Amino acid sequence: MENLASNSESVSTAMDKECIGKQTDPTNIVIFGAGGDLTKRKLIPALVKMLRCGLLHQESKIIGVLKGRSLDEWLASLKEGISEYAKDVDVNNEQWKNFSAMFKMVDGDLADDATYQLLDAALENLNGFTHAMFYCAVPPRMYTTIAAGLHKQGLSDQTKGFRRVVIEKPFGMDLKSSKQLNQELQELLSETQIYRIDHYLGKESVQNLLVYRFANTILEPLWNRNYVDHIQISAAEDIGIGYRANYYEKSGALRDMIQSHLMQVMTLVAMEPPVEFTAKAVRDEKIKVLRAVRHFEKDTVKKETVAAQYSSGTIGDAKIKAYVAEEGVSADSVTETFSAARFYIDNWRWQGVPFILWTGKRLPKRVSEIVIRFRKLPFNLFDTHATPPIANSLVFRLHPDEGIFLRMNAKMPGLTTDTQRMVMRAPYSEDGQDVSDAYEVLLHDVLTGDATLFSRADEVEESWSIIEPILDVWKDRISIDRYRAGSWDVPGMDELFTDCVGGWHKPS
Ligand code: BG6
């Protein structure tokens, strides 16, 4: 331990700046599925960054549970991951040697009791506690198996320190399976031990949305049906499905992005000010929003939603094959790679304001935004001039180039009253350097016990119940509209925005 502490110190002294935030207690960080992609791409880069800036306590341990690899092989692949996915972290050999001294490995099968016995023995008493975070970086079908293994071995017992279990979406594939998962987990763990991670809520600009809303007075008077025409929440991606055909074929864009990330963001946009900034108070407000969302009826689904799939095309110079030609996708697949849905929130603040959530793969660019589009001018004085005034929009850019933009009309310079469009920009950080990765934020929250940005069981079930009628209608489809990879020509999108001031906001 002594050795580890001094080693880690040299890692942090190599740091050039400190992060703002509370340092975690020394914790046993256990990763199930530690040989997988998520661990390599996201979890380890986030942990190394947290360690370097002093957020992660240097006496913590990182315990990987995986099968069929030696500790050295595993560490070599993690090191590769850091150089590939955390390019701003310059880990030289000496620093890596020190960081890797924090690692341990448990070789075992997740369904085997012996694995949890080995894990029990591997957990260390750190400063008088055996705090442990268990991160399930495994397919969801294993969540209950892991929870049962922990429970049986007494590893979920919190007498000697906190025990928190982190799971990733999907939390079920429909209402029934999400209820079943919640019930199974809650028989083995208390709800407060379960951290359902949604990496969208860890994006700095999503949290900034809350600060903008509730730490300023000028927005709140406008934030309602009297001034807002509609709201668009989007996640356009240029990537395809990678190696995930198996999952994506069963999921599709609606489940993959809308039911989870985008509906979560919608709750933060629409919620009332919480009485305090605590997990309970914030999540109580979020669930009220979901309860107020109008449920789709079978016969409104067609009018209120869009589903489409990409055909071959080009993005930049790259030729992109059609979704149906991707490895693992059946040639007659009708899975949607683009989806959109128009939600209404039936409460005093939002009555009649459409919230249009949309997402798609293989679009021209990767952009995620919240667009608050305000009502049109009541009377236009400048109608005869070249560029008619546009409706104002307040745009929260979630990525890339996190920031806030206000689209306004201004006078053209010169002896004229012609208007021109102008964008007031407030980038979240001038050089992009201070924006933490969502996993850093969320891992830090789990380690410090702040569940504000994690979905509670009731929220998950409510959001499934809202989209269930769409899934019911879509499951019987035998064909699907297409859009060319690399284009915005998605059938039905313009119609979905009929009656919305300014129409579909395609990211520029
Ligand atoms: C994941 C989805 O949850 O989020 C992926 O399963 C998607 O399909 C990803 O690509 C998008 O995340 P981000 O942060 O890149 O927008």
CA angle 229, 342, 350 (to 5 degrees): 45
Whether 261 is catalytic is yes
Task: Give the residue-averaged pLDDT of 414-436.
Answer: 78
Largest CA-CA distance found in the chain, in angstroms, rounded: 82
Q: How far is CA 483 from CA 105, 314, 362, 486, in A?
A: 46, 12, 9, 9
- How much of the chain, in percent, has pLDDT values that exceed 70? 94
Lowest-pLDDT choice from 210-219, 380-389, 441-450: 380-389
Residue of 203, 484, 206, 205 lying closest to 360 (CA atoms): 484
Structure confidence by residue, pLDDT tens digits, 294-334: 999 999 999 999 999 999 999 999 999 999 999 999 999 99
Q: How far is CA 496 from CA 304, 432, 475, 476, in A?
A: 7, 34, 21, 22
- Do 153 and 116 contact (CB within 8 A), yes or no? yes
Residue 170 CA, ligand 1 centroid: distance in Å: 12
CA angle 349, 354, 357 (to 5 degrees): 120
Backbone angles phi, psi at 491, to 5 degrees: -55, 135
Query: Could you say which of 57, 230, 261, 505 is catalytic?
Result: 261
pTM of the predicted protein model: 0.93
Residue 239 CA, ligand 1 centroid: distance in Å: 10
Residue of 119, 112, 27 lying closest to 65 (CA atoms): 119
Residue 376 CA, ligand 1 centroid: distance in Å: 33
Q: Using a 6 Å cutoff on CB, does residue 235 contact ligand 1?
A: yes
Average pLDDT, the chain: 91
Q: Using a 6 Å cutoff on CB, does residue 241 contact ligand 1?
A: no
Atom 13 of ligand 1 has which residue's CA nearest to it? Answer: 200
Atom 9 of ligand 1 has which residue's CA nearest to it? Answer: 257
Lowest-pLDDT choice from 20-24, 130-134, 271-275, 407-411: 20-24
Structure confidence by residue, pLDDT tens digits, 67-107: 989 999 999 999 888 888 877 777 777 778 888 899 999 99
What are the chain's domains?
Answer: 13-168 (3.40.50.720), 201-370+450-496 (3.30.360.10)
